[in-house]
Each structure stands twice: as structure tokens, then as C-alpha cells.
Structure 1
Amino acid sequence: MSKSGLVVGALLVLTGCVPPEQTAVVGPSGQVMSLARCSQSPNGCYQQASETCQGSYQVLDSYSKSGGLIADVLPGPVTWYYMNYQCGASDGRTPSFPFRGQQYVPPPIVVNPAPVTTTTNCNRFGNNVTCTTR
């Protein structure tokens, strides 16, 4: 196996273990709101929130979208999970992670009407021609 094949194989194995990322901002209430981002499974987001808060937390919002193996810049085969949370007492609401990313929208189906067939029959009697169309 070539070196480039080994590098690609190692990248594919390691990207399945992308650690959850976290960012924090001060919200309108003055309390810190945090965002956990993880891939493959929402369990990484739960673990990150538990470690950051050292206990209970309240889920403010959650969603998921598709992305690549390393990042979620473009739609791809990996599901990325996002969870906004705030440390402190929980209201008991669990995240649902609804899908908010780009989705495939099939093109509209155009149905052409069946062609109308017409038949014309003509009969000639002497100098007289009679035609009927159906």
C-alpha cells in the first residue's frame, strides 16, 4: 500500500472520532449560552455540556444537519449535531435535533397528456368522395 493510501486511510479512521466543539456567548439575559457541536452521535454534545457545566444544564435549542467528514461546510454523509444550552437547573426538556440543513428537492414531475389519435376514412363513389374523421 502506498504512503498516500495510508494517509487517506488514517484520515478516514480519525475523522470518525472528531471531538465535540464548543463555543460560548453571553445571552440577552446576561447568562452564558454555550453551543456544543459534535458528529456521528448526539452523545458527544451531552458529554460536553455535562463536563462544561459540571452537572445539570438546560437545553435551549438543538438541531442537526449533514456535512462532510471533517466539517459541516457542505452537505455530505455525516450528521452533525448542535445543542445550545445554559448551565444551571434544567426544565427537563430533552433535545430533539430536528434536521435543518439542505435537503434534496426533487424536480417536479411533468406529465404529458396522451396524444389524441384521429382516423380519417374516405370513400369514393364515382366522382363523389366522402370523408369522416374520428
Structure 2
Amino acid sequence: MGRILSIDYGQKRTGIAVTDEMQIIASGLTTIETPVIFDFLTNYFSKEKVDKVIIGEPKQMDGSPSESAIYIEKFCENFQNKFPNLPLVKVDERFTSKMAFQTMIDSGLKKKQRQNKALIDEIAATIILQDFLNRNIP
């Protein structure tokens, strides 16, 4: 069984999280600069078996696509072209950045550490992935 990888896509930075090989627990992997995401993914996929990729889909409160949805769609098209045999699943990512920030507070991180936007992106990707796992328990 391979891992599931999660992407919290942003125009500047992208948070990445993965499961263990049993697909039970989500863990933050890294945050990368978005322009190099396909280089990173190509390298990662060459080293690790990944069964599926989850990407956060930004939505408004009423469920309609957010302003950044156009960038996610473009990324998804490029992803499917580069990795046509790897399933890409979109999941609702509303509130994940706020939840990530609250997680940082709850875990006792100091104010200076909570200003680390890369860490917020990585935690958001982890929340997206763990939520997916929780909703898809057989």
C-alpha cells in the first residue's frame, strides 16, 4: 500500500503532508515554493509509492468557488498532464488555515513561531489530509 499525499496549494507557497504507508496517520512533510512544486513532486514520487493525491479546494461560505479556485484548477490540469496515472481528489479546505493557526496556539508555539506562514501551510495540508482520512474510514 502506498502513501496518500496532500497539497495545500498557494500562489507563493504550497504545504505538503503525507500519510504513513498504512494510510492511517497524516503528518506534515514540508512547505515548498510553489514554482518548484512539480520538480518536488516528481522527485518525491520517484522515491515513495503514492496511491493518491488530495488537494484542498477553496470555497466561499456558500459553497461557491473562491477567487483562488482558478489557480487550483490550472494546477490540477497540469498535475493530471504530468501524472496521468495518479488519482487527484479535490476536498473542501474551508477553515483549514484558521484551524492550522489555532493548532499552533493550542500546541504552545510562541507568537514569533506562529508568524511562520510556511508552517501554517504545512499544518493546513496535514489537516486537509487527516480530515480526508477520517471521512473515508471503511
Identify the TM-score tier after normalising by the shorter chain. under 0.3
Q: Specify which structure has the bigger relative contact order, considering alpha-carbon pairs within 8 angstroms and separated by 6 or more residues.
A: 2
Structure having the higher Rg: 1
**TM-score, scaled relative to structure 1:** 0.28
